[in-house]
Amino acid sequence: MFENISPYIPTLSVKPAEMAGLKNLPGPTKFLLSPHILLRPWVGSEYLESSIKVILEAYDSPCIIELDPSLDLTEEEGERSVFAELRALTSPDDGHRNWVNFINKHEPFTPTLIQTGTVEQIKQQASAFSELGRGIVMRIRLHSNIEATNNVTQSLDILDILNGVVKPEKFLLIADFGQRAQGWEYQAAIAHKLLSAAKDKFPISNAVVSSTTFPLEFDDNIPAQSVYERGMFQQLQQLHPELRLVYGDRGSARAESLDIPLGAPLPRIDLALEHHWYFFRERPDYPKDRRGLPVVLSPEERKRHKKEAYIRAARRAIDSEHWLNVPNVWGRQLILDTFNEAETGIYSPARATAARINIHLFQQANYGSKLLPDPEEDWEEF
């Protein structure tokens, strides 16, 4: 798989907005990326097969698959069957046989190595995947300084195990920094040390550097933000010309769910460009009484005011100087539909996220190119 590696490997979760953004990319653009998909239960589904169906509908070419490590798979009474299925896949027994069999059954999937169990169990798993011949991916989670210290040590030991078991050209290392603040110089230094140390353990030739700096929360003082991930990647390219480094990010999604819910976000339309995101927020114009207090509204009335706020946000986005740099893809059409007050417009946070992800994926897959997609491309919904 990695002989002709894609120039863009975004990490996406099996969630509606992320899968819709991926699914509705123009056909040619899908050949310019290889998604790294975190496997988790599909919304409300009973069985894991629903997640697999969604993935294959969104992207029917070879992709990287990994069990989502953020899932809590502690057994609970009355749980859906899908959680028992996922727990079984994490078992290290017989060289992670359940995970190996799952990958073997689904031909488009390139496996991510499970790094738990004994040395022998990990070695057995790697050997089985080597025989399968689809390539092997190893992701090192560097989401915090503590995690980076622990995981780097463990992962370097595993790379030692893989030496002689896995062919370098069939191996891909992902250095995943998760959610990060705006600055990237510190992360770049860690990534540089990691890549240098990794090469001493295993003759890697392909590596992905991935993170996201998309804001965790918003206020009226954040009209735009740079895509800082690109800066870190470009610096590492200069430091490691001997490697085929691939750009990775979270598709403009957050790396982790917020621990503390912040309440319903204000209506917002985002424009994703190559180097910046631009944000257009609008407050619903809820009526007040003569004392200046909010009037009690029905759910239908509140929904109407929110819809009007999304329409105003779309108008501001389209009127901005940045609109001309937004490619003619599904996400752009959703913003136009909102501007035109069509039923297919953006009137919820999930749909706004799907539109932004779709545009962002296109921009980063076509980074540096001025090519535009076919305006006749068919778009579908989940």
pLDDT digits (tens, 9 = 90+) for 261-320: 556 789 999 999 999 999 999 999 988 888 888 888 899 999 999 999 999 999 999 999
Q: 287 and 235, same structural domain?
A: no
Record the tokens describing residue 175, joined without a space. 């250095």
**DSSP-derived secondary structure for 103-142:** HHH-TTEEEBPP--S-HHHHHHHHHHHHHHTS-EEEEEE-
Q: 170 and 142, same structural domain?
A: yes
**Amino acid present at 264:** A
Q: In angstroms, rounded to a whole number, what is the distance separating the alpha carbons of residues 360 and 322?
A: 14
Q: 244 and 278, same structural domain?
A: no
| Assigned domain for 254 exists | no
| Assigned domain for 133 exists | yes
The answer, as to whether pTM is greater than 0.75, is yes
Which of 186, 218, 249 delimits the end of a domain?
Answer: 249
Structural Rg of the chain based on CA atoms: 22
**DSSP-derived secondary structure for 174-189:** EEEEEE--S--HHHHH
| Assigned domain for 360 exists | yes
Q: 289 and 218, same structural domain?
A: no
CA 193 vs. chain centroid, Å, equals: 25
| Sign (positive or negative) of CA dihedral 159, 160, 161, 165 | positive
Q: 292 and 195, same structural domain?
A: no
| Assigned domain for 178 exists | yes
**DSSP-derived secondary structure for 293-359:** PBPP--HHHHHHHHHHHHHHHHHHHHHSTTGGGS-SSHHHHHHHHHHTT-TTS--SHHHHHHHHHHH
Q: 332 and 232, same structural domain?
A: no
| Assigned domain for 257 exists | no
Count helices and strands in the chain by DSSP H and E runs: 12, 11
Q: 162 and 64, same structural domain?
A: yes
For residue 368, give every residue at least 6 positions away whose Cβ sits within 8 Å of its Cβ, in sequence order, or none: 274
Low-confidence stretches of the chain (pLDDT beneath 70): 1, 144-149, 181-184, 220, 255-263, 370-382
Q: Are 44 and 54 in contact (CB under 8 A)?
A: no
Domain containing residue 187: CATH number: 3.20.20
Residue 262: per-residue pLDDT: 57
Q: In angstroms, rounded to a whole number, what is the distance separating the alpha carbons of residues 80 and 71?
A: 14
Specify the 3-state DSSP secondary structure of 228.
helix
Q: Are 52 and 99 in contact (CB under 8 A)?
A: no
Q: 224 and 352, same structural domain?
A: no
Q: In angstroms, rounded to a whole number, what is the distance separating the alpha carbons of residues 109 and 64?
A: 6
Which of 183, 218, 249 delimits the end of a domain?
Answer: 249
Q: 313 and 273, same structural domain?
A: yes
Q: 229 and 274, same structural domain?
A: no
Domains in the chain: how many in total?
Answer: 2
Q: 354 and 235, same structural domain?
A: no
Residue 55: per-residue pLDDT: 97
| Assigned domain for 371 exists | no
| Assigned domain for 375 exists | no
Q: Are 337 and 307 in contact (CB under 8 A)?
A: no
Q: 288 and 240, same structural domain?
A: no
Q: Are 18 and 12 in contact (CB under 8 A)?
A: yes
What pLDDT, in 10s, does the model give residues 213-264?
Answer: 888 777 767 899 889 888 888 888 888 888 899 999 999 987 666 554 556 7
| Assigned domain for 233 exists | yes
What domain range is 320 assigned to? 268-365
